[in-house]
């Protein structure tokens, strides 16, 4: 409390890699090159991705080869560790960074599949009000607003999405 670095203990800003290592150690799991390479790659910038895309990207990475199985297993661990959030979109799993990101929801363009983030304070209130009303203990929510983004709207939206499944 009276440390020179008191503020640091509130504003811990460790890297995703560090957080993941901590998590692994706290669970008695091992720190492997594959796991490290994956956290680092995933947090090098791109935000929304699926396992398949990741497999492709990682395939042409310099380091150790990483198998499909390990990628799926590591993604689960990153979700457990609170570094990633998973959601289901068109029947496949999509991941996004959780660590260091403010709570948000998504606009989903059904033409180009793009995800646009937004934040709404009021949504939090709705969530609480509804939960209270139904005696429900909330752990999370997911709001996806589906439609057509500006770019695709301009393209006169020629084709219709075959299946309107959100």
Summarize as ranges the residues that interact with a second copy (CB under 8 A).
Answer: 76, 79, 86-91, 93, 107, 109-110, 116, 118, 120, 122-123, 125-127, 130-131, 133-150, 153, 163-166
Q: The tokens of 64 are what?
A: 């150790």
One DSSP character per residue, 38-79 reads: HHHHHTTS--SB-HHHHHHHHHTSSS----HHHHHHHHHHHH
**Euclidean distance between the first and final Cα of the chain, in Å?**
49
Tell me the C-alpha to C-alpha distance, in Å, between residue 105 and each of 96, 121, 124: 11, 11, 11
Residue 50 interacting entry, from a second copy, DNA, none, C-beta within 5 to 8 Å by type? DNA
Residue 35 interacting entry, from DNA, a second copy, none, C-beta within 5 to 8 Å by type? DNA
Does 161 engage in binding with DNA (CB under 7 A)?
no
For residues 25-54, which are near DNA according to CB under 7 A?
A: 28-35, 50-52
Tell me the C-alpha to C-alpha distance, in Å, between residue 156 and each of 109, 123, 166: 14, 32, 22
Does 93 engage in binding with DNA (CB under 7 A)?
yes
Q: How far is the CB of 21 from DNA (least distance, A)?
A: 8
- 95, 86 Cβ separation under 8 angstroms: yes
CA distance 114 to 130: 29
Residue 137 interacting entry, from a second copy, DNA, none, C-beta within 5 to 8 Å by type? a second copy
Q: The tokens of 166 are what?
A: 């959100």
Among residues 39, 42, 66, 78, which is the contact residue for DNA, using CB under 7 A?
A: 66
Does 120 engage in binding with DNA (CB under 7 A)?
no
Residues lying near DNA in the complex (CB under 7 A) are found at 28-35, 50-52, 64-70, 72-74, 76, 91-93, 163
């Amino acid at each position: 409390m009276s440390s020179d670095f008191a503020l640091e203990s509130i504003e811990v800003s460790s890297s995703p890699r560090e957080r993941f290592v901590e998590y692994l150690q706290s669970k008695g799991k091992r720190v492997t090159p594959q796991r490290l390479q994956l956290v680092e790659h995933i947090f090098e910038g791109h935000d929304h991705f699926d396992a398949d895309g990741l497999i492709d990207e990682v395939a042409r990475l310099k380091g150790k080869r990483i198998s499909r199985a390990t990628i799926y297993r590591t993604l689960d661990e990153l979700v457990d560790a609170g570094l990633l959030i998973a959601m289901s979109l068109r029947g496949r799993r999509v991941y996004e960074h959780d660590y260091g990101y403010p709570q948000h929801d998504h606009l989903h363009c059904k033409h180009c599949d793009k995800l646009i983030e937004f934040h709404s304070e009021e949504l939090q209130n709705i969530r609480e009000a509804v939960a209270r009303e139904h005696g429900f203990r909330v752990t999370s929510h997911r709001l996806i607003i589906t439609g057509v983004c500006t770019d695709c709207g301009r393209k006169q939206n020629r084709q219709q999405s075959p299946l309107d499944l959100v």
